[in-house]
Structure 1
Amino acid sequence: MHTTSRRTFLALTGLSALAVAGCGTASGSGVRNTRTLRYQGSAGAVSPAELAAALGHLEDLELKWVGNTISGPQDIQSAASGQTDFGGAFNGAVVKLAARKAPIKAVVSYYGTDKDTFNGFYVTEDSPIRSPRDLLGKKVGMNTLGAHHEAMLDIYLKQHGLSRAESERVERIVIPPVNTEQSLRRGQIEVGVLGGILRDKALDAGGVRKLFSDYDLRGAFSAGTYVFTERFIEQNPETVRTFVTGVGKALDWSRTTPRDEVVARLTEIVEKRGRNESTDPLKYWRSYGVSAPGGRIAAKELTVWNDWLSDRGDVKPGQADIDELYTNEFNDAATKGR
């Protein structure tokens, strides 16, 4: 997840739809079955798409890096407006963009939550917070509002019987992930969301305990998808098929290959691409969190966020057609069909 305010999140998803509706040209290069896909990356990380390219699963497709993304919503806006050919984001952002009538389609999952890769809501060891109701009036620090972490908090509170009015009494604070642990230990917030390397380092230091995690709430699930515009798919179906199948194969490889071997390959990829990045975070890599074979998309992975956005009033019931929002048609790495 990336840092952006809820206002930025809503603005990006709304503006991207206007851009697509206004110009109607969000089709990538416009060449049928193009062999070059423009995309945005992340510093010090290797996406499933980049791994697929390194493993040779994209065949003769070339990924053209055009810079690093600042957030998931920004990444899919870039794809929707034709600045890149594909983008990836939290499924709630995908639903929100589709609700604004942007003609996008999710084609393969690329990150998620499992027993090894999850985001936890942590308190200090001596904190009096033990239950959902203890959160009333407390500050919860997270990297983004209106996205995955806030959704998990709302779901946690709702599952334990708190009303919407009570839930709103829990204060959500935007804090950069690198500052979350420090803010928690200093008492600037009572709860902090930690994942990945930041979670592991905090636990190694001691003095914090988990209140709950997204894995505790929902088990293993895919949380984000890659999207193309419908027009790009129509003009480049075989390119999309090669890309989606390749990403699916890379995800399966990462899940079935010994972790040390995966980390070594990811480290090699970062070192070879020459972007002046640190490979240190890769030492803490555990998984992409995608357990579905080939990154296959399940409807429930979109409907859960659609329901959450509807509860918040961010989208109207039925505003996003989930059945039309995703497809597994191009995924030859997984069982075909919806």
Structure 2
Amino acid sequence: MIGYYGIDKDAYSGFFVPEESPVKGPRDLLGKKVGMNTLGAHHEAVLDIYLQRGGVSQADVKKVEPLVVPPVNTEQTLRQKQIDVGVLGGIFRDKALAAGGLRKVFSDHDLLGALTAGTYVFRDDFIKRHPETVKAFTAAIAKAIEWSRTTPRRQVIDRFVAIVQKRKRNESPEALKYWKSWGVAGKGGVITDKEFSVWATWLEQQGQIPKGEVKVPDLYTNEFNPYADGGARA
């Protein structure tokens, strides 16, 4: 396994409201509609964590209504007041903020700090059959992460654009200029217990997994990552 996206000061999802909105803290969200890309995943978990840390009871958490809104429509839906709060990240966040009139209430980075939030995974039986393939794939991703982290942003974007143009799929490279970071916390995508325990704890609280049944260290391995021992194998 290897991390491939996450949260940092540049790669984050913010919960935004119109500037004139009365929503400023956790309890202000009661009875409000919160638009996000999907339910039961990252953004809903972050919303619940924010409410819990703000002292909102489990009963009152249910008074906040998360709704699915496609990211491409979130800004418009928020400005038209069809929702009270909209979750915006990446290009959608940057373009919305450039247009003005919105205010961040909180973000996943505010709550969780730097965190690898998603990983590439392989089935156990595939790993057993093709360990060298897994090793090669993981090493390539790890080195690409570190290259993008240590190379000037403009050069990284230029490489992205060149790749898109070379494959000739009638794709627009316009969105690439907004790239800032993958948000991967660990060097080369190395994973830690923290990056699974935050979600495991939330799932336990939701009653989706039995408390204490899932052992976080059993969920992942850094065995194939060349940066697992500090980069000695990179």
TM range (shorter): over 0.9
Match of 2:105 in 1: 211
Task: Give the superposition deviation at 1:283.
Answer: 0.8
Match of 1:189 in 2: 83
Match of 1:327 in 2: 221
Encode CA deviations 1:94-128: one digit per residue, 9 max, x unaligned: xxxxxxxxxxxxx1000001011100000000011
Q: Quick one: which amino acid aligns to residue 143 of structure 1?
A: N
Q: Quick one: which amino acid aligns to residue 154 of structure 1?
A: D
Distance in 2, Cα, partners of 1:126 & 1:275 = 43
* Unaligned segments of structure 2, at least 5 residues: none
**Count of residue pairs brought into register by the alignment:** 230
Distance in 2, Cα, partners of 1:269 & 1:325 = 34
CA contact (8 A) 1:245 1:330 kept: yes
From 151, 167, 172, the equivalent of 2:45 is 151
CA contact (8 A) 1:248 1:334 kept: no
Encode CA deviations 1:153-201: one digit per residue, 9 max, x unaligned: 0000001111111111001111000110111111101100000111111
Task: Give the superposition deviation at 1:319.
Answer: 3.9
Q: Quick one: which amino acid aligns to residue 182 of structure 2?
A: Y
Task: After superposing the two structures, state which structure 1 stretch, 198-207 or 320-329, moved more.
Answer: 320-329
CA RMSD of aligned residues (A): 1.1
* Structure possessing the higher relative contact order (Cα contacts under 8 Å, 6 or more residues apart): 2
Structure 1 segments of 4 or more deviating over 4 A?
A: none
Distance in 1, Cα, partners of 2:168 & 2:228 = 33
TM-score, scaled relative to structure 1: 0.67
From 283, 295, 299, the equivalent of 2:177 is 283
Match of 1:271 in 2: 165
Task: Give the superposition deviation at 1:333.
Answer: 2.7
Distance in 1, Cα, partners of 2:161 & 2:43 = 28
Task: Give the superposition deviation at 1:241.
Answer: 1.2
Q: Quick one: which amino acid aligns to residue 157 of structure 2?
A: V
* Unaligned segments of structure 1, at least 5 residues: 1-106
Q: Quick one: which amino acid aligns to residue 189 of structure 2?
A: G
1:176 aligns with 2:70: yes
Task: Give the superposition deviation at 1:321.
Answer: 3.4
Q: Quick one: which amino acid aligns to residue 299 of structure 1?
A: D
SS at match of 1:287: coil
From 189, 204, 229, the equivalent of 1:310 is 204
Task: Give the superposition deviation at 1:276.
Answer: 2.2
Q: Percent identity?
A: 59
Match of 2:155 in 1: 261
Q: Quick one: which amino acid aligns to residue 155 of structure 2?
A: E
TM-score, scaled relative to structure 2: 0.95
Match of 1:72 in 2: none
1:231 aligns with 2:130: no
Match of 2:139 in 1: 245
Q: Quick one: which amino acid aligns to residue 6 of structure 2?
A: G
Task: Give the superposition deviation at 1:325.
Answer: 1.4
Match of 1:131 in 2: 25
